[in-house]
Amino acid sequence: MDKLINATKKALSIIMHPNAVKEHKNSIDAIKFYYTAAVIPGIISIILSGLVFLAFGATNSNLLFSNLPSKANSAMLFTIGALTGFLYIFIITPLGAMMSSVIYQFFAKNLFKIWTKEISRTFTASLYANFLVIFFIWITLIPHTNVAASIADIIVIIWSFIMLITLISKQQEISKLRAVGGILLSIVIITLIIFGIVVAGTVITKL
């Protein structure tokens, strides 16, 4: 239990002071730390995700599960919310960090030589940048008509991006300008490639 608490405290420290992260972990150690640090806030967020989906999804519950008794209906809503939180924290986030690391590394280091260090450092930064989301994933399940929730969403997204820039800068041992340049360049190129594929597919289907 002490190990989980200490890992959670360290994750909070990374959230508050990403610029202070100096250690360089290999990918396996980064994954181990992520999962260890995610246990306590993850369980809390999963429960909150279930409760939020139960509260705000109740308005559509008759449409979603009209044939279920009210107790089963509520249990189903809670389960969907909790499962959403679980999947995002423990499966989608690590996979997303892995994929984004490969993309960033290919363009920022291999193609344009903006970054200099190995992919494990990029992966560590990409993974750790999601720590804030672990604590607040349940907010995303609140309808965007709720102004407070929307503002909170924006704050989480902005700070997570700032964390990513700072952590990349530290892990790659480069300036923040080169860090954000590599990130944005990768995003723009991938977006253009996807857009090109969609346009080409649309043109081909019309021939």
Where do the structural domains in the chain lie, given as residue ranges? Answer: 2-206
**pLDDT given at position 62:** 45
The answer to whether residue 68 scores a pLDDT higher than 80 is no
Provide the token pair at 139. Answer: 């907010």
Q: Residues with Cβ < 8 Å from 93, sequence gap 6 or more?
A: 127, 130, 133, 134
**pLDDT, tens digit (0-9, with 9 covering 90-100), for 33-56:** 999 999 999 999 999 988 888 887
Percent of the chain surpassing pLDDT 70: 90
Q: Please choose, from the candidates 10, 5, 3, the residue with its C-alpha nearest in 3D space to the C-alpha of residue 131.
A: 10
Provide the token pair at 137. Answer: 């994933």
Residue 66 confidence class, pLDDT cut points 50, 70, 90: very low
Measure the CA dihedral 48/87/186/171, to 10°: 80
**pLDDT, tens digit (0-9, with 9 covering 90-100), for 119-159:** 999 999 999 999 999 999 888 888 766 788 788 889 999 99
Q: Is 50 exposed, middle or buried (0-12, 13-18, 19+ CB in 10 A)?
A: buried
